[in-house]
Chains A and B, each alone.
Chain A
Amino acid sequence: MHPRFHACFAAAALVAGLGLVGCATPPPADDPDAVAEYKQTNDPLEPGNRVIYAINDGLDRAILRPVAEGYNYALAPGVRSHIHNLLDNLGNPVVLMNDVLQGKPKRAGDTLMRLVLNTTIGVGGFFDVATGWGWPVHDADLGMTFAVWGAPDGPFLMLPIFGPSNPRDGIGMAGDMMAAPTGYLPKGLENNVFSYSKTALGVVDARAGVIDDLDKINAQALDPYATIRSLWRQHRQSQIDEAKMPETLTPPAAWGGSK
């Protein structure tokens, strides 16, 4: 089975599973401060989410974090950044698709130039030459696209393996995975190996990049689940706010314009 279908099944199983675990009890209506906090956190499925978080955290401590640590130890920072660039470049077609869906010609142009320059001059994406030449990286995914279109996020969800999300972004993630061009390679052993390696490397690269941050959260937060929930929701909101900002079209820095 292809990894992107695994992801969809995982997401479906999770939503079904959460229903079984139950919901958080809303605070009494005569305590307006508590009600405001409950609404602000937007986590009515908290008990179920915490169960998933505990499982994720256990898997992370047992497998993912040690692997990511080994990866950081074994590979020089330069090599890791080349791998990161490569993965970033492989993700560019999906970013481009979302830039277009969000109606952002400038960001779409940035992504197109990144894809072209980094794939050719950057040797398949190993070198990120585009950033230095005035086409900087930015985030765009289907969850953000839905948000730009005005879709509400829905309650906070802790997905198995994938971590913090919500219905809007979970569906978006599944859509992005199905849209990825690497999923449409002809069937064959080499392409399967490539697909799985890309997925695995993507996970390790992402985890290795946040080792210090997550260690810090686990050491310093009284409630790491709540801290991660808050950080993720704020970060997500800031990505969406940025995507919603109107664009001012300027020539790229490399052509004498200012960014």
Chain B
Amino acid sequence: MLMFGRRRLAGLAMAFATLVPFVARADDADQAEKFIGKLLKDLSAVVNDGKPVDAQKAAMRQIVFDAVDVDGVARFCLGRFWRTATPQQQKEYTEIFRNVMVSNITSKVGEYQGVSFAMGKAQARAEEIAVGSIVNRPGNAPNKVDWLVAIVGGKPKVIDVIAEGTSLRLTQRSDYGAFLARNNNDVQALIDALKKQALAAN
């Protein structure tokens, strides 16, 4: 097992439903900081490259899929209902979640023109690393945005974005939770609503 290295082991632990608590260490923080630095550079390059919107969207989609632990975020957002969903529903939900998340992120790509980022410090927490940044958009007050990074499968991945103190995945989870509460906790109803939303967005 030693030849796997510590990071790979930590990654495996994450992959196995975080049964083994993952402890972020100093070199993980370094790695996370470099990872977010590159991600922000890539993102601002795409939104400011002046290419047609469709090309920008495609490029951004690729960046998001590479950088974000989409499946993990999907599971998190379903919360306690992940356990009550059937394997078929889990699969269907994860798939539709990927589509909706990416189309939500890329839908307003034109609005991000002129955006620039200033990197802050990385801070190791119990189970993840928070990397701070300031997002500047022309005509808007600077926004404080923290990127939560975990080592998933040996690689740093974004697991949450915290804008001005509001966590994207927590907000999403309470949206889904409220929807489910009003629809008899029926995961299928959620999947159908997300499908409808994806159709409307395309």
Contacts and interface: CB of A to CB of B under 8 A. Distances in A.
Interface of A: 33, 37, 41, 77, 81, 212, 216, 220-223, 225-227, 229-231, 234-235, 237-239, 241
A225 B104 CA distance: 18
Contacts of B167: 234
Contacts of B99: none
A234 B80 contact: no
Contacts, number: 57
Nearest to A222: B179
Contacts of A226: 174-175, 177-179
B164 interface: yes
A234 B178 contact: no
Contacts of B80: 33, 37
Given A37-B80, A230-B166, A230-B174, 11 more contacts: A37-B177, A41-B174, A221-B175, A223-B178, A225-B178, A226-B175, A230-B170, A230-B171, A234-B170, A235-B164, A238-B165
Interface of B: 79-80, 104, 108, 111, 139, 164-167, 170-171, 174-179, 182, 190, 193-194, 197
A223 B164 contact: no
Chain A interface secondary structure, helix, strand, loop or mixed? helix
A216 B104 CA distance: 9
Contacts of A216: 108
A45 to B, nearest CB: 15
B151 to A, nearest CB: 25
Contacts of A227: 171, 174-175, 178
The residue in A41, A77, A238 that gathers the most chain B C-beta atoms within 10 A of its C-beta is: A238
14 contacts: A41-B174, A77-B139, A221-B175, A222-B179, A223-B179, A223-B182, A226-B175, A226-B178, A227-B174, A230-B171, A230-B175, A234-B170, A235-B166, A238-B164
Contacts of A239: 165
A212 B111 contact: yes
Nearest to B80: A33
A238 B171 CA distance: 14
A77 B79 CA distance: 41
A81 B176 CA distance: 36
A231 B166 CA distance: 6
A217 to B, nearest CB: 9
Nearest to B173: A230
Nearest to A216: B108
Contacts of B79: 37
B78 to A, nearest CB: 12
Contacts of A212: 108, 111
B166 A238 contact: yes
